Amino acid sequence: MFTWDVVDPAPGEAVGPRQRLPWGKTIGLGAQHVVAMFGATFVFPLVMGLDANLAIMFSGICTVLFLLICANRVPSYLGTSAAFVGGVAAIRLQGGDSADVTGAIMVAGLVLVVVGVLVHVAGTGLISRVLPPAVTGAVVMLIGFNLAPVVAQTYWPQDQWVALLTATFLVAGAVLLPGFWSRIAVFLSLVFGYLLSWALDGVLGPITSVLPTGPDPVEHDRVDLSAVGRADWIGLPSGTLADGVPVVHAPSIELTFVLLVLPGVVALIAENLGHVKAVADMTGEDLDPYMGRAIGADGLATALASAFGGSPTTTYAENIGVMSATRVYSTAAYYVAAAVAILLGLCPKFGAIVNATPGGVLGGITVVLYGMIGLVGAKIWVENRVDFGDPVNLVGLAAGIIVGVGNVTLVITDQFQLSGIAFGTLLVVVYFHLARTGRSSTSGEVTRAP
């Protein structure tokens, strides 16, 4: 398991998953993977109201778990997943706290484990039949676009000009910066917004705006570093979150909240399928036998992290991009990256700096990232050539998308209701298969919808 063939090929030649460069170069590549995953891994916990330092530490732990379950054959890093951001926002809007959030995500992780086992036994064809690209694209789209009110009502109003400038920097950096730097545009835009906010505090003084903690505008510094001085250099993540729940806490499970995040499982399935196939294409290896393991490992990692108050995980396209650029697919580099992430997570002072990220900066980043999440759904459609001239796709998906994006609510009882992402996902799946089955029965033949 932990034996790699040591190679040192010429630049541009591939290094396989079961190979490694000399340790000096491997450590350098591992550090590069940390930089690639870093921005999104700690931004998404912040927007979900969870602790970024704990998320970074568990990203390292969960990456090791993933590599072990996949027998070191699938080189991937498990960073914080964006798939549950919409569900988390819905939970908080309905009065749930961080324990409710992590409890719901933990159950979703366990559901993903079950899916992984089924895929491992039955093959990937099962997923293709139940969740074809037309359905997964729609679910991913409504998850992303459902988040628009979170940006408009929570982050953007805290400092609209910093938000606008940060978003502009992110868009420009993603398309204008060369090579690797464009891949970490999220991280660079966060640093830019952070420094800009600090400079504006020094030049213009405090700002008056509405914070998430209260309905009325208050005067406050954009960057509050008071917690940094109190934090230790070395220690486990500790303290309390903004809603008063301890950073490390036991999850609380409530069915209504679980239903709000279950659509995220569909997104994680789509992500894992796409990422494992991408790695297989790059390495030239047949990774289909490990597809179920990868999905199940991601689910187990999500459940493990959530059990301690951490954030959900997923395989990261950012790190797949690093492998594409370097042609080094060694799993040894990912163990190094995991070790670095764990060490960062054990530095509370670093966590305090991360958690002090100004709301305006998060507004600028999320206005781009949330839109990108939604457009990934459109990307799934395009890549799989989903035909919207086909009524099965057009009619079968339409209602669910509007329900999900518009946050429509179906009140079943006073204590139980379906709304937004959960309700929209249910309609997407049910209506699509209803439309496909209905047409098949009337035409007398099975119609293959993409």
Give per-residue pLDDT as tens, 241-256: 888 999 999 999 988 8
- Residues in Cβ contact with 64 at an 8 Å cutoff, skipping those fewer than 6 apart: 335, 338
Structure tokens at 12: 């541009």
- In whole angstroms, what is the distance from residue 326 CA to residue 338 CA? 19
pTM as predicted: 0.74
Residue 236 has pLDDT above 50, yes or no: yes
Q: Specify the higher pLDDT residue, 447 or 94.
A: 94
Distances (CA, A) of 306 to 166, 220, 354: 30, 32, 20
User: What pLDDT does residue 445 have?
Assistant: 46
- In whole angstroms, what is the distance from residue 426 CA to residue 418 CA? 9
User: What pLDDT does residue 446 have?
Assistant: 44
User: What pLDDT does residue 444 have?
Assistant: 52
The DSSP string of 277-310 is HHHHHHHT---GGGHHHHHHHHHHHHHHHHHTT-
Residue 340 has pLDDT above 70, yes or no: yes
Residues 213-220, mean pLDDT to the nearest whole number: 73
What pLDDT digit, counting tens, does each position of 158-177 carry? 888 999 999 999 889 888 88
Residue 110: pLDDT band (50, 70, 90) is very high
Q: What is the Rg, in whole angstroms, of the alpha carbon atoms belonging to the chain?
A: 22
Q: Specify the higher pLDDT residue, 297 or 316.
A: 297
**Pairing mode, strands 5-6 and 217-220:** unpaired
Q: How many helices (H) and strands (E) does the chain have?
A: 20, 8
In the predicted model, what is the mean pLDDT of the chain? Answer: 84
Residues 112-120, mean pLDDT to the nearest whole number: 93
Residues 87-111, mean pLDDT to the nearest whole number: 92
User: What pLDDT does residue 441 have?
Assistant: 65
Q: Specify the higher pLDDT residue, 85 or 385.
A: 385
Residue 450 has pLDDT above 60, yes or no: no
User: What pLDDT does residue 103 have?
Assistant: 95
